[in-house]
Each structure stands twice: as structure tokens, then as C-alpha cells.
Amino acid sequence: MKYHLITLGCQMNLSDSERVSAVLERMGYERTDNEEEATLLGMLACSVRQKPIDKVYNKIAQWNRWKNNRNLITFVSGCILPADKEKFLKLFDLIFPMSELSQLPDMIRNYGVVNAASLKTPKPVMPKNEHIVDLWHIKPKYESTYEAFVPIQNGCDKFCTFCAVPYTRGREVSRPSTDILDEIRHLVNQGYKSITLLGQNVNSYGLDKHGEEVSFADLLRQVGEYGRVSGEEFWVYFTSPHPQDMGRDVIEVIAEYDCLAKQIHLPMQSGDEKVLIKMNRRHSMDKYQKIVTDIRELIPQATLFTDIIVGFTGEDEAAFQNTVAAMDEFKFNMAYIAMYSPRPGAASYRWDDEVAQDVKKDRFHRLSEVMKTHTRNYNEQLVGKTVRLLINGADRKTGFSTGLTEGKLNVRLDRKAPELMGTIVDVLITSAADFSLSGELVTQKEEVES
Amino acid sequence: MQAIKIDESFYKVKEVRRLTDETFSLRLPKKQFKFKAGQHISLGIQGDYQSREYSIYSGEQDEHLEVLVKEVKEGYFSPKLSHLKPGDLVEVNGPFGKFRIDEKKVADHKFVFIASGTGIAPFRSMVRTYPELDYQIIHGVRYGHEAYDKDEYAPERHVLCTTGDKSGQVHGRLTKYLKKTKFDKTTQFYLCGNSNMIFDALEVLKDKGFDRDQIHCEVYF
């Protein structure tokens, strides 16, 4: 009895997939990477862009063809727009929101039994999140032994015009802080070194509980206090925050505790005030600038990552130049730059996609070049310095070990060291490239000698 | 017999109140719905899979929950809303948003509300919620009959700017009025409406030397 699971999209879906695996394996299913030998085939869909949704349609078409020769059950969950959901109902055997994951075993066992009551239930316009807590009670089957994602919140109330997430994941709901801390303690006790707190707007954490839950800054403080007493070395990240709710208190807490990683991912999306308004981002560039100033003042060693969309409706050359200027001002260590593409379900889908594709491509390349100059400059300053590195893999060509610094900069080691996988070691940076560094392991002997 | 659980986010339409040929307000029972003036809701129609966001038009203490809707004839959603009848079911989610009055400033600050078209909705909610508010509404519309529920505001607090006729106090765009008017230095400005109006008004206010922190924007899309 084998299952095959395809997970598309963001870390939130990856985290959810660990819970799906846990549920299925508790039923007796065994995971397989070979979909042809599985009898249960599932997908966690992503609606942020069109490409992953196209992949869902292609894959289910293939699986449904296989049904001519094999007994299969197919299911889909994840981020699904209501319009796609209508179509998926005809294509997949089972479709469910993640908040109903605990009922998946019953759905599989009862597959084929028509539930008349469910057919009469009006379909909600926005997904309901009341039972998302049930999902968080499911102990995940972690994919890694040293890196884990911990959901702290689900849903989004921000309604950015380019994004459909409020319509796929519903309202913001915060996970109880006691559960979050329990999971973190468990992970640290198991030797995990990198823990990422996940949510669509992590710094809105607790706001939905109207005073009955701690704030995001206080949640981080509790994690920091635990880190202090645990005596273990581990790094806690979070993604993604929204600038609207990013206060100085959050930055102060990160500065105070060693286990709170000195890396901040702060989506900017555009450096132009008017484009931000059109995106309904609900913060000004002044606000974004103030947050970055606070970060530079309180955590000067922190690396800063961002997300940027180029070619959004209404972005003319002058507006794009404001984004270039912001890139020059904030000197991001990494910017995930995307060319705007209208997504069904998002408000901007109803507008003309007025920036031509070749203009988007041109802006994408120009902005990438600007970013490169800043990342290279930053990386070159690290040459000759010793950094702590979490070994997390091997270079595909050479087999040499690779890792991430606390600031999430990629480093390639000068040797194979599989025995160090999942450990944090000292590495001397020997050379820098645009988006990566090279280094050599600092052995304990060398440390003693120096 | 097992009790049927009614989904609490579904509301029965109380009234569709026509304000102009194109604009109407949708009144729903308030039930236990709590919100802050200026916030918006997501509204869906039973049996339809789309939803849209609308600012709340009623005050926090009003007995009904109300939104202001302009029907876009070629649109998908607003024509369906306009055909709703009392008793029809709509789904309400929310409230959402931080476009709200800072209550600490109510007693000692002036508030200027700048709206285009149905962007006046959150300001009516604020005015009804805070009777003591020292406010001025600057409302830009094409024709005078689009000054929705104008009689509810004190005449000296309501400036109507019309571009299509001369029935308003100002004939022309609201930025014309903004440019020639002096405002108190600590005024809190709230802008709501289409993005072009917000861009233009923002520029005027910045040129007048007001900090971005004093200017709050809610874009309609």
C-alpha cells in the first residue's frame, strides 16, 4: 500500500505535506517517489502563479488515464482557488482543505460512498479556518533531521491586489503559542539546527485572538528564552512578515537572543509609492525605510532578503527606477524577483496587464544586475572571516559539502564532509561570488593553534 | 432529530437601498458582527464562488451592517449584488483592515476625509461612530446626485466637488480644492477611492508639507 505525494509552492505547503505524510503513514501507507507503483496519488496545489496550477491539471490528466488499467485514488489539497476547486471536484476523487486533514483516513476508507448531506452544503466563498487547529495537532513526519518548518499561523487578511491567498487559505488564524513552543522544544531536543516559523503574515501573529494570545514579538521572546536555557545552538527564522505590522519590538527581540537568526526576509514588492498603493500593500516607503533603519541600527550584522515584483500594472519606467533606487539604498543580500503575471482570483486579474512581457524581462534583468553588485560587495567583505555554517548538502558537480550561514548565505566547502551533514561548524571564507561563497573547514586543531 | 448547524457567516439581506441608478447600499442584520469604523468585509453570494471586498458603510453602533456598492454594468459581481432581494443569503467574512481612526487622536485632532465616488463609505461609518469627531469630508464625484446620503453630514463639514456639473461647492476635481485650502498642521488625512485620485491627492498633500504618517490610504480596486 503505497502513496505518492507531489508538493508544489511555498514552505507552507511543504510543512503541510509533512503532516499529510504523517496521516497516511499512520494508516499503513508507505511513501514512494515512483508514482507508477503507488495506489494513492496526491497533490498539494499552489495558486500563487499559473504554472503550478497548470502542472496540477497536467498531472491529474495523466493519473486519470492510468485509471483505465489500475485501481487508484487521487486527492488534492493545498492552496486552491474556488474556481479551480469547481473543476478539481470533477477530476480528483478527493478534495479537502488542510483544516480537514484529520478526516482524510475516513475519506479514503469511505471513498465511493456518496454523502448526500455534503452535496447540499453550500460551498463557502472563503475557506473556513475554524478547524485549522486540528491540522496543527497532527505530528508531522519531518523530511529533514536538522531543518524543520513550524507553522504558527494560517491564512491572510491583507488582500494585496496581486495575490489570491486570502481566497485559498482564508482568514488569518494563529496557532496556540503553547503548541508552537512544544514543537520547537521537541525539535531542539531532537537536534534540529534550523527552525523556520511559518505563516502568510507571521508578524500579525496573535492579532486574531484579540488579546488572548501573545504578540509575535512576545512569541519570539519566549522562543529566545527557551534557546537561552536549552544551551543548544540552533537558529530560528520566520517567513514571511508584512511591513505593515513589523514593529521595532520584533527587531529588538531578535537582537537580544542568540537563537533568533540574524536574517530577516522583508517583502518590499516595489520601491514606488504609487505601485505600492495599487498593490494595496497598506504601507508607505517611509515605513519600509524606517524598518530597515531599525534593523541596521539594532542588528547591524543581519542579512536582509526581500521579494520584488517587476512589471506590475501601472509600473512605468519612473516607478521601476524607484525600485532600483530602493535596491541601491537597502542593499539586499537576496531579492526574489518575479515578473508580474495576473493570477485568476486576485483583484489585479481584472485589470489590463499593461506592461509588455519584453519590458518585464528587461526590468527583471536590470534589477538582477543591480542586486548582483550589492550581493557581491557584501560577500567580498566576508573573505578572510570565519563564519558558523550549517552543513546541508553536497554540490551536484563536485560532491563537496555545502551549507548556509546564519544569514542564509550559500557557502561551498573545499571538501566532501558527509559526516558533518546537519551540524554547525566554523568555516573560513576564502572566496566570494555573486550569490555564494567558498570556504574551508576550520578544524578544532587549527582553532587551538590560532 | 439532529439539529442543523447554520453557518454563522451567512446573512439574510434586509434591504437593497437605491441611492442612484448605479449605486445602492446593501443592508444586512448586524447580528453579533463587531468591527471598527473604516474596516471592510468580504462579501459573497450563496451559490457563487467569487467574493469582493467592500468597506462598511454603517456605524459601529448601527442596528444593521451596510455596504455601499456601485454597479459596474459589465462587471461580474456587482450586477449580481444589485439583483439581490430581501431574504437572499450572502456570506460575510471579516472584518479586515487597519484603515481606522486612531481613537487617541479623536479629541484633539482635525480629520480630513478625502473620497472619490463610493470611497465615502468608510467615512460615513467613522462619522456615525464618532459623533464628536472634528472632521471635514471632501467628496469627489461626477454629478451632484452622487453625493450619497449628503444630508447626514453637517453642511459646513461636507465639500462636494463635481466634474460633470456645477452642483457641487467646487466645480472640478477635489485636488483643485485641496490645493487652495489651508489645513491645520496636525490634521490626519484619510484617502479612500480609486488609485488615481489617491496618487494625485497624496502628491498635493506631500507638496503642502504633510508627513506620510499623517496620510492614510485605502485604495478601491
Q: Report yes or no on B177 lying in a domain.
A: yes
Q: Residue A437: which residues within 8 A CB-CB, separation 6 or more?
A: A379, A382, A383, A405, A409, A410, A411, A412, A429, A431
Say if residue B43 is in the same domain as residue B126: no
Say if residue B120 is in the same domain as residue B201: yes
User: What number of other Cβ atoms are within 10 A of residue B91's Cβ?
Assistant: 22
Alpha helices in chain B (DSSP H): 78-82, 121-129, 174-180, 195-207
Q: Report yes or no on B4 lying in a domain.
A: no
Interface test with A, best of B92, B195, B206 (most A CBs within 10 A): B195
- Does any CB of chain A come closer than 8 Å to the CB of residue B219? yes
- Does any CB of chain A come closer than 8 Å to the CB of residue B114? no
Say if residue B209 is in the same domain as residue B108: yes
- CA–CA separation, B218 vs B14, rounded Å? 27
Chain A CB contacts of B49 below 8 Å? 82-83, 85-86, 123, 125
CATH number, residue B82: 2.40.30.10
Around A227, how many Cα atoms within 13 Å sit in the side-chain half-sphere?
A: 23
Q: Which of B48, B63, B96 is the last residue of a domain?
A: B96
Chain B CB contacts of A350 below 8 Å? 221
- Is residue A421 within 8 Å of A146, Cβ to Cβ? yes
Contact A277 B219 (CB under 8 A): yes
Contact A280 B219 (CB under 8 A): yes
Q: Report yes or no on B5 lying in a domain.
A: no
| Beta-carbon contacts below 8 Å between A and B | 69
Q: Report yes or no on B3 lying in a domain.
A: no
Burial of B18 (0-12, 13-18, 19+ CB in 10 A): exposed
Q: Which of residues 73-102 of B touch A (CB under 8 A)?
A: 89, 91, 93, 96-99
Contact A123 B49 (CB under 8 A): yes
Q: Report yes or no on B75 lying in a domain.
A: yes
Chain A CB contacts of B46 below 8 Å? 122
Contact B217 A277 (CB under 8 A): yes
- Does any CB of chain B come closer than 8 Å to the CB of residue A211? no
- Is residue A184 within 8 Å of A150, Cβ to Cβ? yes
Burial of B62 (0-12, 13-18, 19+ CB in 10 A): middle
CATH number, residue B204: 3.40.50.80
Say if residue B143 is in the same domain as residue B43: no
Contact B219 A273 (CB under 8 A): no
Contact B96 A244 (CB under 8 A): no
Q: Which residues in chain B come in under a pLDDT of 50?
A: 1-5
Say if residue B114 is in the same domain as residue B91: no
Around B161, how many Cα atoms within 13 Å sit in the side-chain half-sphere?
A: 18
Largest CA distance in chain B: 70
Q: Report yes or no on B170 lying in a domain.
A: yes
> What would the DSSP string read from start to end of A41-80?
EEEEE--SSHHHHHHHHHHHHHHHHHTTTS--EEEEEES-
Interface test with B, best of A125, A131, A207 (most B CBs within 10 A): A125
Q: How far is A25 from chain B (nearest CA, A)?
A: 33
Alpha helices in B112-207 (DSSP H): 121-129, 174-180, 195-207
Say if residue B92 is in the same domain as residue B125: no
Contact A278 B195 (CB under 8 A): yes
Say if residue B36 is in the same domain as residue B72: yes
Please give the grid coordinates belonging to residue A192: 534540529
CA B160 to chain centre: 15
**Quick one: pLDDT at residue A449?**
45
Contact A348 B97 (CB under 8 A): no
**Quick one: pLDDT at residue A85?**
85
Q: Report yes or no on B2 lying in a domain.
A: no
Chain A CB contacts of B192 below 8 Å? none
pTM of the model as a whole: 0.85
Say if residue B87 is in the same domain as residue B36: yes
**Quick one: pLDDT at residue A256?**
98
Contact A166 B42 (CB under 8 A): yes
User: Shortest CB distance from B44 goes to which of A125, A273, A286?
Assistant: A125
Q: How many domains does chain B have?
A: 2
Say if residue B90 is in the same domain as residue B17: yes
Q: Which residues in chain A come in under a pLDDT of 70?
A: 112-130, 444-450
- CA–CA separation, A161 vs B60, rounded Å? 27
**Quick one: pLDDT at residue B2?**
46
Say if residue B77 is in the same domain as residue B114: no
Q: Which of B80, B96, B112 is the last residue of a domain?
A: B96
Say if residue B107 is in the same domain as residue B216: yes
Say if residue B87 is in the same domain as residue B145: no
Contact A125 B198 (CB under 8 A): no
**Quick one: pLDDT at residue A344?**
79
All structural domains of chain A? 2-120 (3.40.50.12160), 144-258 (3.30.750.210), 262-283+290-381 (3.30.750.200), 386-449 (2.40.50.140)
Q: Which of B30, B65, B96 is the last residue of a domain?
A: B96
Around A273, how many Cα atoms within 13 Å sit in the side-chain half-sphere?
A: 17
Contact B42 A126 (CB under 8 A): yes
Q: How far apart are the first and last CA of chain B?
A: 47
Full domain range(s) for residue B153: 103-220
Chain A CB contacts of B189 below 8 Å? none
- Is residue A17 within 8 Å of A55, Cβ to Cβ? no
**Quick one: pLDDT at residue A128?**
62
- Is residue A74 within 8 Å of A39, Cβ to Cβ? no
Q: Residue B124 corresponds to which amino acid?
A: R
